[in-house]
Structure 1
Amino acid sequence: MALCRLRSRSQTPMADQMASGEGFGLDCELPVPLDNPRQLFAQIPQIPNLEVYFQNTEDIVKLLLSGDLDMGIVGLDTVSEYGQGKEDLIIVHNALGYGHCYLSLEIPKEHEDFEKINSVMELSQMPKWNEKEPLVVATSFPKLGQKFMKEKGLKHVRFFSPKGAVEVAPKMGTAHVVLDLVNTGETLRANNLREIDGGIALESQAVLVASRKSLLYRVGALGTTHEILKRLEEHLKAVGQFKVTGYMSGSSFEEVAEQVFSQLTLSGLEEPAIHQVFHRRDGEMVVDSYAIDICGPKELLDSPVQQQLRAMGACRVQVSQITKIYDQVNSKWQELRSKLGEENLSKLGL
């Protein structure tokens, strides 16, 4: 029996990203080795007590609630639909940075009833919807749909949840509109559907979710979760971050610092770090130049900072991508401990 079992969705773009090393995998130095593309289980060598199973999204949430697994990576949409009101389900990390999509209301492009409808408000004000003839919504997310429609003031609504694709339902006449996940929008366009203003019910991406009971009572589960969170945060904080290093001559820290702070545009960037560069000359260690490190998003570092460093007399400028950022305090770990309750953790010696 594994001390901790992590399961992720299968046969989806999110699973492809995970297996290929994007998102949770190689970027966090936790590769999920798969010898065969049809293989649905694996182990992560860096964490010996961790087993990975690729499962269906809906099943992941159900298995978490039944206690048959400890953690899972799914979309926020799935957690929100199948885990609504379930206290044992706990979101460990709410933004893994991949699997982005959103749940959106879509209406037929070529239908006389909807020709002049451009917003959810206009849809809700259509007089034809009543108790006998409600608006029929095709969706795989009836719970989220019901909540969204109520918030938008649509009272007479019925949900239709086919097992297959929902986008074709208006064409078949089994539904008036569709509430479905949108990624690129290609599917809805291919099926003559269009989005309307105010129609986004939920923004979603991959999240790490866990069983509260497993984290508190399964031996080793919380420690493994801590290790996963540490690696995730180190990677996610570094996404899109770069470092520019310029080498300059100068007689002192103060002289170089004054030049850097007076001439560099540092808006949106971290304060630069200035280091002495040592050289051996005639058998002695001497300092005759300084290295200036500036970190920040690539778009802010690309041209302006590099050009300014050269204009200040930098003899060499290097640009490198940051792959990890270590922080003494892991905010996600602190949030998780707070959700679990420090008092509960203390009683259990965790």
Structure 2
Amino acid sequence: MASLILALPSKGRLKEQCEAWLAKKGLVVRQTGGERGYSATLDGFDDVQIRLASASEIGKALLAGDIHLGITGEDIVREAAGDVDARLTIEARLGFGRADVVVAVPNGWIDVETMADLAEVATDMRRQTGRRFRIATKFTRLTAQFMRDHHVADHRIVDSAGATEGAPAAGIAEAIVDITTSGATLTANALKILDDGVILKSESCLMKSKLADWNEATQATAAQLFNRLSLDRL
């Protein structure tokens, strides 16, 4: 019988939260090959193959159709591809791993509170200095789309290799797009989130790949699994 492949985070807090969420539904994940192994079993589901991987690897595998189901952050898949909704569906939002992708500027910019203000500053900078307004981020796809949606034309995205929140103070960029959970890191770096600068409110989600090799057996297994998880979508 063909196995349904479910990918789960392999380490850290997300791994613990995923396993705790499944355990509440009566589903126990048992890692095989020791603590360093990258496969596991799911009690009561012999035809489910558990793969343990990083959150980013899970996102890529879902988008490519290499796995049937996976748990990862919405921000990861939205950044990885522009046609996410054509490749996968979000079956459940799990209530953990929450983080917002936001636009932030220095606190000292007292006249910049909205994306419209930011667009005006960017236009003025280009006109007065000939330079484009720089935005440091690791979320280049999401940032580019958000800037287009808000008509911020005179900008340049700077790929952030290090700590993004330090870019304005270091003179690398005028603003940033970064992920935040509490806002404490932004506050510590004298940055503020624009009033309408939340690009995405992300959290860990159970996702189903539309491109995976679905057949009668895997569909039936998924339906049984979703029933145990008290999810009626599939």
Give the TM bin, normalised by the shorter chain: 0.7 to 0.9
Q: Superposition pairs for residues 246-325 of structure 1, below 5 Å?
A: none
Of the three residues 182, 186, 189, the one matched with 2:184 is: 186
Cα separation, 1, equivalents of 2:162 and 2:5: 30
How far does the alpha carbon of each residue in 1:38-76 deviate from its partner, in whole angstroms, 9 at most, with x for none?
554321122112222232223222223334322211111
Structure 1 residue ranges (4+ consecutive) displaced by more than 4 angstroms after TM superposition: 34-39
Matched AA of 1:222: Q
Indicate the structure (1 or 2) with the bigger Cα radius of gyration.
1
Mean alpha-carbon deviation: is it higher for 147-156 or for 165-174?
165-174
Question: Is 2:115 the counterpart of 1:120?
Answer: yes
For the 8 Å contact 2:55–2:76, the answer to whether it is kept is yes
The unaligned stretches of length 5 or more in structure 1 are: 235-329, 334-350
Cα separation, 2, equivalents of 1:137 and 1:224: 45
Q: Superposition pairs for residues 198-209 of structure 1, below 5 Å?
A: 198-209=196-207
Q: What does residue 151 of structure 2 align with?
A: 153
Question: Offset of 1:215 from its aligned partner?
Answer: 5.2
Q: Superposition pairs for residues 106-117 of structure 1, below 5 Å?
A: 106-110=104-108, 114-117=109-112
How far does the alpha carbon of each residue in 1:264-322 deviate from its partner, in whole angstroms, 9 at most, with x for none?
xxxxxxxxxxxxxxxxxxxxxxxxxxxxxxxxxxxxxxxxxxxxxxxxxxxxxxxxxxx
How far does the alpha carbon of each residue in 1:234-278 deviate from its partner, in whole angstroms, 9 at most, with x for none?
6xxxxxxxxxxxxxxxxxxxxxxxxxxxxxxxxxxxxxxxxxxxx
Q: What does residue 42 of structure 1 align with?
A: 40
For the 8 Å contact 1:7–1:55, the answer to whether it is kept is yes
Cα separation, 2, equivalents of 1:164 and 1:199: 22
How far does the alpha carbon of each residue in 1:181-211 deviate from its partner, in whole angstroms, 9 at most, with x for none?
2212222223222212111111112222232
Q: Cα distance 1:146–1:12, how it changes in 2: closer, same or farther (>3 A)?
A: farther
Give the secondary-structure state (helix, strand or coil) at the position aligned to 1:146: helix
Q: Superposition pairs for residues 221-232 of structure 1, below 5 Å?
A: 221-232=218-229
TM-score of the pair, normalised by structure 2: 0.85
Give the secondary-structure state (helix, strand or coil) at the position aligned to 1:155: coil
Cα separation, 1, equivalents of 2:12 and 2:134: 28
Q: What does residue 220 of structure 1 align with?
A: 217
Of the three residues 206, 224, 233, the one matched with 2:230 is: 233
Matched AA of 1:216: W
Matched AA of 1:18: C
Cα separation, 2, equivalents of 1:186 and 1:178: 15
Compare relative contact order (CA 8 Å, sep 6+) and give the higher one, 1 or 2: 2
Q: Cα distance 1:47–1:83, how it changes in 2: closer, same or farther (>3 A)?
A: farther
Cα separation, 1, equivalents of 2:35 and 2:125: 48
For the 8 Å contact 1:88–1:211, the answer to whether it is kept is no
Q: What does residue 14 of structure 2 align with?
A: 14
The unaligned stretches of length 5 or more in structure 2 are: none
Q: What does residue 55 of structure 2 align with?
A: 57
Q: Cα distance 1:9–1:180, how it changes in 2: closer, same or farther (>3 A)?
A: farther
How far does the alpha carbon of each residue in 1:305-341 deviate from its partner, in whole angstroms, 9 at most, with x for none?
xxxxxxxxxxxxxxxxxxxxxxxxx3x23xxxxxxxx
Give the secondary-structure state (helix, strand or coil) at the position aligned to 2:176: strand
